[in-house]
Amino acid sequence: MSLHSAMAAAATLVSLAFALSTLDRWLTGHKRHEAVWTVSLTMFSVASAGLWAGASLGWGEWSFKVFYLFGAILNVPYLALGTVYLLFGVRTGDRWAAVVSLLGAFVAGVVVAAPLLAPVGADALPRGAEVFGPGPRIAAAVGSGVAALVIFLGAAVSAVRLVRARRQGARPGTARGLSPGRLAAANVLIAAGTLVLSAGGLLNSVLDEMDAFAVSLVMGITVIFAGFLLTETGRRNPAIRAWYPPPSVARQLERAA
């Protein structure tokens, strides 16, 4: 098995495990950011499976469209939507969820209907500019670029909240059951993983194109997974639970939030 096939397989398995983890947590707590992350990571699994199939069996029109739609366009906006839910609550998240879902459905139609400008070679990962017109390429640039910016801003907001909490001498614990430090660290890791995912092109200087994408997928999704694990509230882990205030104090914090 070639390196890019092995890395694509690893990215598929890691992202699938990630999606199942977020699904399990959503079924337990029914928190919106976990539901949205489940959607995002399922899309990531589909994109990684498309890369795996293309690298192992040869690329075709539909394997490339699946990879491009779910990997280059849709999954990062839904990852960013999870950050919006996590930081700004259900009301703000629901508004943006409607916008992201409507735009996502429209873009999916654009990609499915888009004619190919050139044949898709079986042995190499094609570039969007080589086979697509402006519609899908603009969707990829705007969707992934704006969504990545939202994730980076989320990390900045978390860092600011952490600094303010420390200056005010606030005790660990927030209305969402997370200490400001853990929330900040989680969002920083999610932002770092997103940056790694977008850095596949930089690896072209040392690896061929398919290897670059595959390695960046594995590294990026692993870092994002680490950020996800930091959002665990500690309710199931006695070693973490000790960091959180008693229920009476937690209720006071929730009223003050």
Q: What is the pLDDT of residue 208?
A: 52
Listed residue (37, 8, 53, 1) closest to 215, CA to CA:
8
Q: What is the pLDDT of residue 252?
A: 43
Q: What is the pLDDT of residue 241?
A: 37
Q: What is the pLDDT of residue 170?
A: 52
Q: What is the pLDDT of residue 227?
A: 80
Q: What is the pLDDT of residue 209?
A: 60
Cα 164 from Cα 166, distance rounded (Å):
5
Whether the per-residue pLDDT at 99 is higher than 90: the answer is yes
Q: What is the mean pLDDT of residues 34-59?
A: 87
Cα 18 from Cα 42, distance rounded (Å):
9
Q: What is the pLDDT of residue 56?
A: 82
Range name among 96-110, 171-185, 190-204, 239-253 with the lowest pLDDT average: 239-253
Q: What is the mean pLDDT of residues 215-219?
A: 79
Task: Determine the structural domain holding residue 116 and report its residue range.
Answer: 3-256
> How many domains in the chain?
1
Mention every residue, 6+ apart, whose C-beta is less than 8 A from residue 63: 50, 53, 54, 57
Contact 85, 36 (CB under 8 A): yes
Token readout for 139 is 């969707």
Mention every residue, 6+ apart, whose C-beta is less than 8 A from residue 252: none
Q: What is the pTM of this model?
A: 0.75
Task: Give whole-number Cα distances, 41 to 76, 88, 95, 206, in Å.
Answer: 9, 21, 21, 28
Q: What is the pLDDT of residue 96?
A: 94
Q: Which tens digit of pLDDT belongs to each residue from 103-126? A: 999 999 999 999 888 877 777 777
Q: What is the DSSP string of 141-196?
A: HHHHHHHHHHHHHHHHHHHHHHHHHHHTTPPS--TTS--HHHHHHHHHHHHHHHHH
Mention every residue, 6+ apart, whose C-beta is less than 8 A from residue 189: 223, 224, 226, 227, 230
What amino acid is encoded at 221 in this protein?
Answer: I
* Residue 254 banded pLDDT, cuts 50, 70, 90: very low
Range name among 11-25, 143-157, 213-227 with the lowest pLDDT average: 213-227
Report the CATH number that the domain containing residue 10 is assigned in CATH: 1.20.1070
More confident residue, 200 or 44: 44
What amino acid is encoded at 130 in this protein?
Answer: E
